[in-house]
Chains A and B, each alone.
Chain A
Amino acid sequence: MIVDIKKLSVDYSGIKALDDISFGIAKGDFLGIIGPNGAGKSTLFKCMLGLHTQYDGTIKVFDHDIRDSRKYLSQIGFVPQKPVVDRNFPATIREVLSMSQNSSDSEKIDEALQKVWMHELADRRIGDLSVGQQQRVFIAKALVNSPKILVLDEPVTGIDQYNKDLFFQILGELNTKEKISIIWSSHDLDAVERLANKVACLNRTLFFHGVSEEFFSDDEMLKKYSETSMQMHMHHH
């Protein structure tokens, strides 16, 4: 297991966002995390990345508790949920990539941009790109540090179909060619079914974690998922 989560619980001033979650991520996994809005997906990621430290339980990255050493966190690349870029922010794509700490060398930057097919736009201003293109830039930005794991929080929300497909194609290549383990959250069951080899189904508690086919062939499971999603949905409106 390259990431090992045991009995993870998160409390936001009395309200439980995550309740006793345990699962592991193996090398090479392409894990889709599905769950309705407010299910705790972002919270789970924030804990894994050391951004949220107020949790119970343990999280180990490459066999090291992230509470003891943050060193291994650099192995995880992160693409946050809807990184809103100010249209007028004066930075080129190349500059955005060079912001990551250990990345002054431009070869690595070019290489990373090539992997997401953005090298031709390297000297454009980041705000001039579409949301889909920006998301690809943020993947490249994570790739500059040669991560072993890539975490993406709802990366394709609000992106058109063409860019979505492109995006998933890139993720697939990173997973198979670069051997990067990928963890991404989504509402999109179809995309998860198509791409992921593992599925985790989350709604405050983890009610499924396992092989993708197993989840999608289990009608009980799917029914349960759609019910909780509906409940959450109605709850929100």
Chain B
Amino acid sequence: MTFEAVSYESIPHALVSGIAISILCSAIGLFLVLRKFSLFGDALAHSAFGGVAFGLFIGIYPLWIACGVAILSALGLTKIRQKFDISSDAIVAILLATGLGAGIILVSMSDDLEIHDIEEFLFGSAIIDTPNVITILVMAGAILAILFFTYKKLLYSTFSEEQARASGIPVEKMGYLLIAMAGVTVVISMQLVGVLLISALFVLPNVSAMLYARSFKKTMMLSMCFAVSATVSGIFISYQFDIAQSGCIVLVAAAIFVGSLVAKGSGMVKTTGILAKRA
């Protein structure tokens, strides 16, 4: 296998897209984590992988196919889940396995498919070209803007579905919106960390931040800081030691989590008051 380390020339592109992706993943991921849907990003990524393989197979730019496949299958399954009362962890398993299964079949069917292309999507790529960086920035900006205007409703329906519904918030629609945003996020993030590691960016910075911050806003900001730090240092470690970039990013994020646990466990940081003094 050919894991890629960051080369000197690719650092700026990796950094710019990495920072945008980190901010986006921690914001969307926070809602997923709070909905006890942590592995949903993983499931989306695997079904997106099916889409990537299909795109490569028929020769269309794979990421857009992936995006469509991921969102449509997730929305479809959510509908089915509501109708037949299937638990959400089962939905995650179904999406994950089916997406990967379809992807593997498509890969095995195409003779001229570069295995390298597939690996890039599975494990992430160190080289992101300029058009891709622009795509990432535009999509990240668009989703963050939507999030800015809808976060209150999203938060309310995450906090208490029943109360939100009683206050007239369209809880189902907010759920679909979150899935669609998560789908796009996963697809543009796949290039950086790959299908297999995506849930790390969704989950690790958020659970680390939740150990400290007591308010939602501070949790989100702290989580974004953790995610950006992990990505930036991951990229430099990858360049320095010539090791796989995606793995470096995820391990730094995991190290931040372990560090947070230790700091909190040892009482170095008070329960909920890193940014505000405890009364």
Binding site for B on A (CB under 8 A): 49-51, 70, 73-74, 76, 78, 80, 83, 86, 88-92, 94-96, 98-101, 123-125, 128, 138, 141, 145
Check B163–A83 contact: CB distance below 8 A: yes
**Least Cβ distance of B50 to chain A in Å?**
33
Cα separation A74 to B165 with both chains bound (whole Å): 11
Question: Can you list 15 A-B contacts with CB-CB less than 8 angstroms, sorted by A residue number?
Answer: A74-B167, A76-B166, A80-B163, A83-B160, A83-B162, A83-B163, A86-B34, A89-B34, A90-B215, A91-B215, A91-B216, A92-B214, A95-B155, A99-B159, A100-B156
Q: In the complex, which residues of chain A have a beta carbon less than 8 angstroms from the beta carbon of B156? A: 99-100
Check A51–B165 contact: CB distance below 8 A: yes
- In the complex formed, the residue of A with least CB distance to B34 is A89
- In the complex formed, the residue of A with least CB distance to B220 is A90
With contacts A51-B162, A98-B152 taken as known, whether A90 is within 8 angstroms of B168 at the C-beta atoms is no
Taking the complex as formed, is B98 at the interface, i.e. its CB lies under 8 A from any CB of chain A?
no
Q: In the complex, which residues of chain A have a beta carbon less than 8 angstroms from the beta carbon of B209? A: 90
Check A51–B166 contact: CB distance below 8 A: yes
Contact among B155, B218, B276 with A99 in the assembled complex (CB-CB below 8 Å)? B155
Which residues of chain B (192-211) have a CB below 8 Å from chain A?
Answer: 209-210
Taking the complex as formed, is B272 at the interface, i.e. its CB lies under 8 A from any CB of chain A?
yes
Q: In the complex, which residues of chain B have a beta carbon less than 8 angstroms from the beta carbon of A86? A: 34
Q: In the complex, which residues of chain A have a beta carbon less than 8 angstroms from the beta carbon of B219? A: 90
Cα separation A49 to B166 with both chains bound (whole Å): 6
Which residues of chain B (150-181) have a CB below 8 Å from chain A?
Answer: 152-153, 155-156, 159-160, 162-169
Taking the complex as formed, is B217 at the interface, i.e. its CB lies under 8 A from any CB of chain A?
yes
Check A91–B169 contact: CB distance below 8 A: no
Check B272–A95 contact: CB distance below 8 A: no
Check A99–B152 contact: CB distance below 8 A: yes
Q: In the complex, which residues of chain A have a beta carbon less than 8 angstroms from the beta carbon of B224? A: none
Cα separation A124 to B271 with both chains bound (whole Å): 11
- In the complex formed, the residue of B with least CB distance to A86 is B34
Cα separation A74 to B167 with both chains bound (whole Å): 7
Check B214–A90 contact: CB distance below 8 A: yes
Cα separation A74 to B156 with both chains bound (whole Å): 16
Check B213–A91 contact: CB distance below 8 A: no
Chain B interface bracket (under 10, 10 to 19, 20 to 34, 35 or more): 20 to 34
Contact among A89, A101, A141 with B169 in the assembled complex (CB-CB below 8 Å)? A101
Check A90–B213 contact: CB distance below 8 A: yes
Check B216–A78 contact: CB distance below 8 A: no
Q: In the complex, which residues of chain A have a beta carbon less than 8 angstroms from the beta carbon of B216? A: 90-92, 95
Check B155–A91 contact: CB distance below 8 A: yes
Q: In the complex, which residues of chain B have a beta carbon less than 8 angstroms from the beta carbon of A74? A: 167-168
Q: In the complex, which residues of chain A have a beta carbon less than 8 angstroms from the beta carbon of B34? A: 86, 89-90
With contacts A83-B163, A99-B156, A99-B159 taken as known, whether A88 is within 8 angstroms of B210 at the C-beta atoms is yes
Cα separation A46 to B216 with both chains bound (whole Å): 29
Which 6 residue pairs of A and B lie closest in terms of their CB atoms, listed nearest first?
A90-B219, A99-B156, A125-B214, A78-B166, A92-B215, A91-B216
Interface string of B84-108 (1 = CB under 8 A from A): 0000000000000000000000000
Q: In the complex, which residues of chain B have a beta carbon less than 8 angstroms from the beta carbon of A96? A: 159
Residue among A80, A90, A96 with the most chain B CB within 10 A? A90
Cα separation A183 to B238 with both chains bound (whole Å): 63
Q: In the complex, which residues of chain B have a beta carbon less than 8 angstroms from the beta carbon of A78? A: 163, 166
**Least Cβ distance of A68 to chain B in Å?**
15
Contact among B167, B213, B218, B272 with A100 in the assembled complex (CB-CB below 8 Å)? B167
Q: In the complex, which residues of chain A have a beta carbon less than 8 angstroms from the beta carbon of B276? A: 123
Q: In the complex, which residues of chain A have a beta carbon less than 8 angstroms from the beta carbon of B218? A: 90
With contacts A51-B165, A89-B34 taken as known, whether A124 is within 8 angstroms of B214 at the C-beta atoms is yes
With A76-B166, A101-B152, A138-B163 already in contact, 5 other A-B pairs whose C-beta atoms are closer than 8 Å: A70-B168, A73-B166, A95-B215, A99-B152, A125-B272
With contacts A51-B166, A74-B168, A128-B272 taken as known, whether A80 is within 8 angstroms of B215 at the C-beta atoms is no
Q: In the complex, which residues of chain A have a beta carbon less than 8 angstroms from the beta carbon of B165? A: 51
Cα separation A78 to B164 with both chains bound (whole Å): 10
Q: In the complex, which residues of chain B have a beta carbon less than 8 angstroms from the beta carbon of A50? A: 166
- In the complex formed, the residue of A with least CB distance to B223 is A90
